Amino acid sequence: MQPDFILEFARFLLKSNALQFGTFTLASGRPSPYYIDLRMLPSFPKHFRLTITAMKEAVAGKIGSNFDTFASVPTSGLVFGSALAYEMVKPFVYVRKESKGYGTSKLVEGHLPSGSRVVIVDDVATTGTSVSHAVQAIRANGGIVDDVVALVSRQEGAEDHLKKMNVRLTAVTTVKEIVNTLHKAGLVDSNTLESVMEQMASQADYDNE
């Protein structure tokens, strides 16, 4: 991705508090020295459009056009997935975290013809757990999944998790790239940069245990 986009995106995350540094607990229960919440983005149309354009370019450059449908998972991934599908004029479906206890009890909502090649869209890729659930559900419903595209990768296991399922993760940018960019611009200090790098290193050690 272009350095100019990364810098503008990184500055926006910091200014809007979509990226915060401190002590946080992730959904997995692991501690983290930073928290990134991209649900803030749709409230800022200019930057939201920039990110959707960046995702579109990532799909075109790394995945290509040989697929049929975009898919996503609730909740924040839905916003990015539906906007990207609209922008690229592709069908869109989404995968529930669990089936409804009424009606058709479907996990996959929307029209998914058997044999459809599906690209799953996520906002932030961390461990890959929620996306792997979507991969399994789509495959169980006759879809073919080889690729996932995310706006940001935390580089904490999602790539390897998905690779084991024969799925490739394409990320527009990474937290490492974002924080390095902010550090070079003088917007975060060296201690903050170091704490983020240590977080990634500790996750790598955890994965190799």
What 3-state class would DSSP assign to 115? coil
What 3-state class would DSSP assign to 24? strand
pLDDT tens string 142-187: 999 999 999 999 988 899 999 999 999 999 999 999 999 999 999 9
User: Could you tell me which residues come within 8 angstroms of residue 114 by beta carbon, excluding any fewer than 6 positions away?
Assistant: 141, 142, 143
Predicted local distance difference test score (pLDDT) of residue 97: 79
Read off φ and ψ for residue 138, nearest 5 degrees: -65, -40
pLDDT tens string 114-141: 999 999 999 999 888 889 999 999 999 9
Token pair, residue 134, equals 């979507």
Distance between CA atoms of residues 81 and 72, nearest Å: 6
Q: Which pTM does this prediction carry?
A: 0.90
**In this structure, which amino acid lies at residue 195?**
S
Higher pLDDT, 203 or 135: 135
Asked, as a colleague might, if the bond just before 69 is cis with ω within 30 of 0, I would say: no
Higher pLDDT, 111 or 31: 111
pLDDT tens string 89-108: 999 999 987 765 554 568 89
Check whether 205 has a pLDDT greater than 70: no
Token pair, residue 144, equals 């073919």
pLDDT band at 208 (very low <50, low <70, confident <90, very high): very low
Distance between CA atoms of residues 149 and 120, nearest Å: 6
Check whether 207 has a pLDDT greater than 80: no
At the second CATH level, the architecture of 3-207 is 3-Layer(aba) Sandwich (3.40)
**Neighbouring C-beta atoms of residue 45, cutoff 10 Å:** 9
pLDDT band at 56 (very low <50, low <70, confident <90, very high): very high
| Average pLDDT of span 60-66 | 94
